[in-house]
Structure 1
Amino acid sequence: MKTMISLQNKIIPVYLNESNNKKALDKLGEVLNRKLETGKTAVKNCIRSLISVEISGSEATLHAINEKDTLTISLY
């Protein structure tokens, strides 16, 4: 399933592989905002250049413009 979120005045597509979509999207928003404030530089760079997110189970893969910046983070 595909849905969209707004992050830093950009619309980002989010691809979900699970049935509990609302909970996963809420956690994703919390984690991304927290990482932007307190995360390491590599994580911040990835989030700033984010082009899509793929959620599978309890992990989110953050796809960035530069393939080297792509990361997988835990939602829980």
Structure 2
Amino acid sequence: MRTLITFQNKRIPVYFNQENKQPVQKTLKLLSNTLENKISSGKRALQKCLNSLISIEIVGCEAILHSVSENDSLALSLY
């Protein structure tokens, strides 16, 4: 499943796998809160990834953040 969120004035696609047990709205709220928190108080590598974010994949309780540079992509725990 795919949905779009707005982050830093950009539309970012968020992909969910079929195995996700949490409701989509709850997961999206956790994701948005986590991203906003990390952009302001995260480490430099995380902020670099968030500034070049192109898509997000939700796998279980983790968000895989895909950036323009494959080397900057990383996983972020939502819980």
Deviation, 1:44, is 0.3
Partner-residue secondary structure (3-state), 2:50: helix
Q: State the aligned residue count.
A: 76
TM-score normalized with structure 2 length: 0.93
Shift of 1:15: 0.1
Gaps of 5+ in 1: none
Amino acid at match of 2:44: T
Q: What residue number does 2:69 align with?
A: 66
Q: Which runs of 4+ in 1 moved over 6 A?
A: none
Of 41, 53, 58, which residue of structure 2 is paired with 1:55? 58
Q: How far does residue 22 in structure 1 lie from its aligned partner after superposition?
A: 0.8
Looking at structure 2, the residues matched to 51 and 24 of structure 1 have their Cα atoms a distance apart, in angstroms, of 19
Per-residue deviation, 1:47: 0.5
Paired position in structure 1 for 2:48: 45
CA distance, structure 2, for counterparts of residue 44 and residue 2 of structure 1: 24
Separation in structure 1 between the aligned mates of residue 50 and residue 3 of structure 2, nearest angstrom: 18
Alpha-carbon separation, structure 2, partners of 1:24 and 1:71? 18
What is the CA RMSD across the aligned residues, in angstroms? 0.8
Shift, 1:4, TM fit: 0.1
Gaps of 5+ in 2: none
Which residue does 1:15 correspond to in 2?
15
